[in-house]
Amino acid sequence: MTDLKSSLGEAVGAAFAAEGVDASLARVTTSDRPDLADFQSNGALAAAKALKANPRELAGRVAERLQADPRLALVEVAGPGFINFKLTGAALAERAATVAADGERAGADAVATPRRVIIDYAGPNVAKPMHVGHLRSSIIGESLKRLFRFRGDTVWGDAHFGDWGFQMGLLIVAVGDEGGAAGFMTEGDGPFPGEAPVTLEDLERLYPAAATRAKDDIEFRDRARKATAELQAGRPGYRALWAHFVAVSRTALEREFGALGVTFDLWNGESDADPVMAGMIADLETKGLLVEDDGARVVHVARPGETRKRKLPDGSVMEAPSPPPLLVISRDGSAMYGTTDLATIVDRRKAIDPELILYVVDERQAEHFEQVFRAAILAGYATPGSLEHLGFGTMNGPDGKPFKTRAGGVLKLHDLITMATDKARARLQESGLGADLPPEEFEAIAHKVAIAALKFADLSNSRTTSYVFDLDRFMSFEGKTGPYLLYQAVRIKSLLRKAAEQGATPATIVVAEPAERDLALTLDAFDQAVSDAYDKRAPHLLAEHAYRLAQAFSKFYAACPVLVAPDADSRGSRIALSQAALDQLELTLGLLGIDTPERM
């Protein structure tokens, strides 16, 4: 299935080629003057310059070749050589009907060559409650997972559980010092207690205290480092205690992710890479990549004499030093963060052999991933282009700094969702929405509104930019917000229910009124929005489309009466357009991870 812009682009390219011009210059874009045209091509200006010809004359010859195209109501040359195109109502109606009949795809094509893709996102940690810092990775990663699947790829979403670093040693020592885990501290193979000696509250209390203590207490820090090394070496009691840490933490994390509408296919932790660690390290040695450096062992990833440019989140470019070596083994023999990431690539290659791995992780980790990716390519564990770090900006408070509680602490994700749900409940009540619904349904709607507000506020921003958290603005039922989009979807559902009650059914789509044209053109644009969001790893392009579609329907609803249309054919056509708009809007929101209620 081809959208109108693409098919028109092919025709314009053929007309350019017939004039002896490179067809690639004939790019068709959406008109920046929709009052004058639907699409435009500015290729004649560049082509004429290359041919040393008059651009307006060249544009005129191209336009003349296109006059016979039955899809075009208007082809005209404007300005110094722009070509404007306006489609016929019949062409728009045919395309809208195709979109309406396209079932679960709503007019968007799948990729020609599907791939195996792993998306690494969220990055929760043992003993650490989810907080606002996990929000962007979770939301963006979930949306990309849904988008890549929709395009036809086979996708695994991996939480990449943080369960194997120094924090594990800190917890083992801290729990042992409290005396509640004596059964796990002895040498030998066990047996060890089957019940966890700690609760989630214990872990949340112990970890920050232990991390703080380790900064100043050298003896405590050394014991924690030793415990980390012994855990990674396979000490049975520590492994049994660690398994309880993981189970207790994962139960709580799955609850938080579930509330956010985020799911994973894999809950592989850093520990899952441990079985391949020794073999990988031996392989790095054999290949001459692992070298001694001040008591540690590293892989040098910079090329001799290398200089490089780094693109900043705002799009500017700066000179940057070459990346430092990747630390593989510390002085005390422990595997490091980069080691487990490198081993995870090896493990994923053996288990799944993905053609692409996307890492949805804070932009501040860019250098770390550059080190890991370079090491992986040097060692032959990955090919250039198969590993991508999709960095993102931060969610900030009014002061422009990463969002904190009023007391200055990090806000837990559970508290954020509760706060948003409370606000959604209040906004629904203020707006008189859902007042006649059963309490259970009202609460479910409030939760959906809250999640829509949080997700759309995040995903409507470019992934690489930061944004200011403003719950009052995010929760509005007006403007570019998640609640506004839910309200529009619910309004269409209500309209279609009323039509069904009246016995009115969809009919052949006819596009005659300006608002019908605008809605049909917006429906057509979905394929391009999906393709661009996929290629650029940019969910905000889907958010933009959802908002444009909701606006287009709102204008259509106001200008083109549906249930009281002038005749049965018009009514049936407008019902069909309304259904197509609803299907595509719900699909787009679904790709963003947003569920729509049936009513409000």
pLDDT above 70: percentage of residues in the chain: 97
What average pLDDT does the chain have?
A: 93
State whether residue 106 is helix, strand or coil. coil
**Per-residue b or e along 285-302, where b marks 16 or more CB atoms closer than 10 Å to that residue's CB:** eeeebbeeeeebbbbbbe
Burial grade of 453 (CB within 10 A; 0-12, 13-18, 19 or more): buried
pLDDT at 405 over 80: no
Q: What is the pLDDT of residue 408?
A: 67
pLDDT at 173 over 60: yes
The answer to whether the CB of 40 falls within 8 A of the CB of 31 is yes
pLDDT at 438 over 80: yes
Radius of gyration of the chain (CA): 29
Give the mean model confidence (pLDDT) for residues 439-453. Answer: 97
Tens of pLDDT, residues 9-65: 999 999 999 998 888 888 999 998 888 999 999 999 988 888 888 999 999 999 999
The reported pTM is: 0.92
Architecture of domain 268-392: 3-Layer(aba) Sandwich (3.40)
Give span(s): CATH 3.40.50.620, the chain.
268-392
pLDDT at 315 over 70: no
Give span(s): CATH 1.10.730.10, the chain.
446-591
Q: What is the pLDDT of residue 128?
A: 82
| Model confidence band, residue 233 (pLDDT cutoffs 50, 70, 90) | confident
Q: Six-digit token pair at 520?
A: 């049909």
What's the rounded Cα separation, in Å, for the pair 168 and 89? 65
Best CATH choice for the domain 446-591 from the list 1.10.730.10, 1.10.599.10, 3.40.109.10, 3.30.420.40: 1.10.730.10
Q: What is the pLDDT of residue 406?
A: 66
Q: What is the pLDDT of residue 334?
A: 73
Q: What is the pLDDT of residue 310?
A: 66
Give the mean model confidence (pLDDT) for residues 69-92. Answer: 96
Within its chain, how far is the Cα of 256 from the centroid?
Answer: 18
**CATH topology for 4-87?**
Gyrase A; domain 2 (3.30.1360)
Q: What is the pLDDT of residue 50?
A: 80
The CB-side HSE value for 434 (13 A sphere, CA atoms) comes to 25
Tens of pLDDT, residues 377-399: 999 999 999 999 999 999 988 88
Q: What is the pLDDT of residue 229?
A: 87
Give the mean model confidence (pLDDT) for residues 459-465. Answer: 95
Among 65-74, 89-98, 188-197, the range scoring the smallest mean pLDDT is 188-197
| Model confidence band, residue 403 (pLDDT cutoffs 50, 70, 90) | confident
pLDDT at 407 over 80: no
The answer to whether the CB of 393 falls within 8 A of the CB of 467 is yes
pLDDT at 313 over 60: no
Q: What is the pLDDT of residue 312?
A: 62
The answer to whether the CB of 55 falls within 8 A of the CB of 16 is no
Tens of pLDDT, residues 483-498: 999 999 999 999 999 9
Give span(s): CATH 3.30.1360.70, the chain.
4-87
Measured CA to CA in angstroms, residue 570 lies from 191, 502, 580 at distances of: 76, 15, 15
Q: What is the pLDDT of residue 323?
A: 87
The answer to whether the CB of 420 falls within 8 A of the CB of 476 is no
Cα dihedral 12, 13, 14, 17 sign: positive
Tens of pLDDT, residues 504-552: 999 999 999 999 999 999 999 999 999 999 999 999 999 999 999 999 9
pLDDT at 251 over 60: yes
